[in-house]
Chains A and B, each alone.
Chain A
Amino acid sequence: MSAQQATAGAPTTERDEMEELQAHFDALIAAGETIEPRDWMPDGYRRMLLRQLAQHAHSEIIGMQPEGAWLTRAPSLHRKSVLIAKVQDEAGHGLYLYSAAETLGVDRADLLDALHRGQQRFAATFNHPALTWADTGAVAWLTDGAAVINQAPMTRISYGPYARAMRRVCLEEAFHVREGYDLMRALCEGTEEQKRMAQDAVDRWWLPAVALMFGPPDTTTGGADARTAAIGASVSRRAMAWGIKRHTNDELRQRFVDAVVPQAERLGLTLPDPAIRWNEERGHYDFTPVDWEVYRRALGENTHWARQRVAHRRAAHEDGAWVREAAAAYAAREEAAGRTEEHA
């Protein structure tokens, strides 16, 4: 029975109905079933998904920039091909995610507008500049490596379109990490200058990766910003209850450190954290805890580059306005003329 059909005694009936819808939603989540676009969902769930999807999509699009800047300078044609393919995948991932966001009733154009106006965020990792060729390797190895660890559980996220987009993304992302590691390996096996360049890139990309790719601390207690951390923890709990998140930020962060430390050792590179050492008792690597202050420091907000990223994106969009208008005008004219050619 629908809300419209409910007649007299509406308050009770509507409340009953809301409870029934909520119970159905809760049962689906509890059973590990996916929520699909036409299912009823609580507003908070929809808002949280939308915020996360938009931020995720924007991050892919903005994330094209640091690496995209090196497409014209890749030092071998093989590496140039690989980098083009990678940046292209990022554009594709952004588009998959915008499509998934659109199933929640928003328009792609509005999402892009929000990005261009600075109303929606993207991963602060990409506020950082890619200063040398080795940065393209460090970004792929460390930040994409972090992304894969972050994203693998998201293939089971409770919202169907998001989960399906993530299955596609993760399949493709695995290539990025391998490629990044391979690029760093080549540099580390090269000349002294190449190895220095690799180490310098790792020194600059470690903190953005370990702090920012996993979000703020959400399990550590105490510290100057205990209250903020507590809020973070409560958001994480809610996201986990809804099946939007499967693990805490700090849990995934530990998983990342455990994966990367041996890789860095094999490369002969030093991760810029003197506290890194194997903890036999925990069965994990210890590292300098990412507390609120470390996290803030890593944000890189209000820097030249943080501003540049959105400005670059906005300029491309504005410069292309006449092209988009032309495509729309052409389609409208063809449609009016009743022509639907497959190939012009």
Chain B
Amino acid sequence: MSSYDVAIIGAGISGSAIARELSKYELNTVVIEAEDDVASGTTKANTAIVHAGYDAVPGSWKARMNLVGSRMYEMLCADLDVPYHRTGTLVVALERDQAPLLEELRERGEVNGVEGLELLDKGRLLEMEPNINPEALGALYASTGAYTCPWEMSIALMENAVENGTELLLGEKVLDIEEEGGHFGLVLKDRTIRSKYVVNAAGLSADKVASMVGDPGFRIAPRRGEYWLFDKNTEGLVTRPVFTAPTPLSKGVVITPTADGNIMAGPNAENIDDPSDVSTTQQGLDKVWNDAVKLVPSLPRRSAITNFAGLRAAASPQADFVIGPMQGHFGFFNTAGIESPGLTAAPAIAAALTGMLKDAGLALEKKRSWKPKRKGLVHFAGLSRQEQDRLVMEDHRYGHVICRCETVTEAEIIEALRRPVPCRTMDGLKRRTRLGAGRCQSGFCSPRALGIVARELGVTVDSISKNGDGSFYVTGLLDGAEGGGLDD
């Protein structure tokens, strides 16, 4: 039986951050992820904002972790080669009764320790963001706000952890947990893993996982948010994340640039029962659309290239992050209810949790060979013509463009398949390379890309999935057709 010091359940942003933090020490750590890729749950569909920290209730986990996390982000992104754009963020008051809210947010932010908050009048606001509704009354500007790329961050953290010796099991679901004499036995499909400490970072399943040990004292109440994504031809419509004034359920709808140069609008907030229901709805999309065009009236509907929904893994009844040891089950720790601002808070949560593990007796001996830096994939499209020219000279496969909308080359696809965190699904490939993420949404490139993946991995095309388990692209060959050949 494999035996570990720490087992982390879940490879979303929290699990990845904790894995990377623990990889600094001489520990035997394993991460167990039910899906075929990291960042496959809540992490893959969120607003990508590094929040300044003005909205959480003072003194809450959310407020504390947000502030600390926000301060860690810039350096972390530099170390891990992850996009980070510190543009500041805006909350805009569109109606008279929203104006006092801005003042309230500013005061709360100051109590939370957030620096660089400033109330702007309409003139200053429109100077900064000329496409905002000219009827806006003013805004709260948070200069420490930024935006990043959530799955890139999660992939980067996990790649760095793996490079530093962490073991990652993908497509392995924890079916049960047994407590036995100071150890836990994590029951997988065809084996059991032994670990001294367990960190539950299972996102939307965190309550189910905790229940395997005892009464968790919280429940995950999924709250769905829907988004619109716009063509890159909308770039510059807003130059920083711009929020509408908040409601009791959410921070308000945001229109934001993405790290890849698109514009995104969303999310709404809707409590739902099914933690797997990431379907969009006409009402939800209409709601986001209506709120968004109030904020930016020139938002072009015909430039929408896709829409999607994500689930916030909110904890109930706490309405706060649940971070810490589970009472009566020594060695079992929860990081649950990591809804917004979870992306921002993740590095702080990882540091806090590592401290708690230490307090619980985990020996933290620094790894002398620990490598803090990780180099990301080459993104051909983002390079200068000169750099592109040089790359093609070095490797001719950079001259073979597969995804025409996003200019993704064969060399990038091959690299994505060979990274420290193995990419095995087409969605995973999309998140790593942007293949199929553009305006044609993979209509042209998917047949070519399937061929390359099949060739590189030595598998048949009908075994390649969109996102694991049953999400096959094709049902098989035509009668009498011969396989292969897609990548000729």
Q: Check if A and B associate.
A: no
Q: Which residues of A contact B (CB under 8 A)?
A: none
Q: Which residues of B contact A (CB under 8 A)?
A: none
